[in-house]
Amino acid sequence: MSEEYKVKVEHLTKYFGDLHVLDDVSFNIKKGEFLCVVGPTGCGKTTFLNLLTRIYMPTRGELYIDGEPADPKRHNLSVVFQEPSAMPWLTVEKNLRFGMEIKKLPKEEIDRRVENMIKLLGLEEFRDRYPHQLSVSTAQRIIIGRAFAMQPDLLLMDEPYGQMDIKLRFYLEDEVIRLWKEMGTTVVFITHNIEEAVYLAERVLILTNKPAKIREEVKVDLPRPRKVSDPEFIKIRNHVTEQIRWW
């Protein structure tokens, strides 16, 4: 039964001092599922990811990956952070190699995956540049490539496309869907952008304001590729928007 779920979240509660961020949150993520988490600004979405990766420890409750308490050292997971987090002293190519070298993958395999990512993300002309020589959106592509190259079975993405123009966003969104389908990765994608959530997710988890609880789960079973101007799409987007109601 633990095989069915990639992630189980049980009674997850987090306080930072007096600040109550997550309030008794429980849900499961199926193996191979694409889950988007949306919620008002500052509601605790990033805190949830930071608990899953053990950057923080929960105040109460627990997170399980493959039936075991979450442990980034044991589980094969990758994180794409919101802020640019490419290593400034490494070139684009060396940034892409970094994680795989730590994991001691064979050189040929690293070469193959790096070339694939460079091609996929259009980084050819930037291969020998350093992050500070790149635009923000280009630098962010290194982070995405670095995460994909690890071929994780759990991919955590925290608002990765916030800085990008929409054409590039749709391109990379389609890319993440392609990789998800090809590799059977379980993806948890956090975003403020409701259109993006409805475009990507099989299921959208809507969080309330702090202290965050689950307000609603919305299943999105529209065929892919999805069209943002499709009336069914708009219906779901409107519904999710109303549930968040930040204005």
Partner 1 sequence: MSMDKKKQVILSLKNISQSFVVKDEVKPAVENVSLDVYDNEFLVVLGPGHCGKTVLMNVIAGIEKPIEGQIFLKGEEIHGNDRRIGMVFQSLNLMPWRTVMGNVEFGLELAGMEKKKRRAIAQKYIDLVRLTGFEHSYPHELSGGMKQRVGIARAYTNNPEILIMDEPFGALDAQTRYAMEEEVLRIWKEEKRTVIFVTNNIEEAVFLADRVILLSNCPAKVKQVYDLSPLGRPRDLMDPEFLRFRTEISDNTDLAL
CB 12 within 8 A of CB 159: no
> Considering beta carbons, is residue 95 or 186 the nearer one to partner 1?
95
Report in angstroms how near the CB of residue 40 gets to partner 1 at its nearest.
7
In angstroms, how far apart are the furthest CA atoms of the chain? 53
CA-based end-to-end distance of the chain: 42
CA gap 159, 149 in Å, rounded: 19
> Considering beta carbons, is residue 58 or 160 the nearer one to partner 1?
160
Report in angstroms how near the CB of residue 168 gets to partner 1 at its nearest.
6
Cis peptide bond N-terminal to 131, omega within 30: no
CA gap 207, 200 in Å, rounded: 17
> Considering beta carbons, is residue 89 or 247 the nearer one to partner 1?
247
Give the distance, in angstroms, between the CA of residue 36 and the centroid of all CA atoms in the same chain: 8
Report in angstroms how near the CB of residue 88 gets to partner 1 at its nearest.
17
Query: Given the rule CB under 8 A, which residues bind partner 1?
Result: 40-41, 121-122, 135, 137-138, 159, 162-168, 171, 191-195, 228-229, 234, 237-238, 244, 246-247
> Considering beta carbons, is residue 90 or 234 the nearer one to partner 1?
234
Report in angstroms how near the CB of residue 37 gets to partner 1 at its nearest.
14
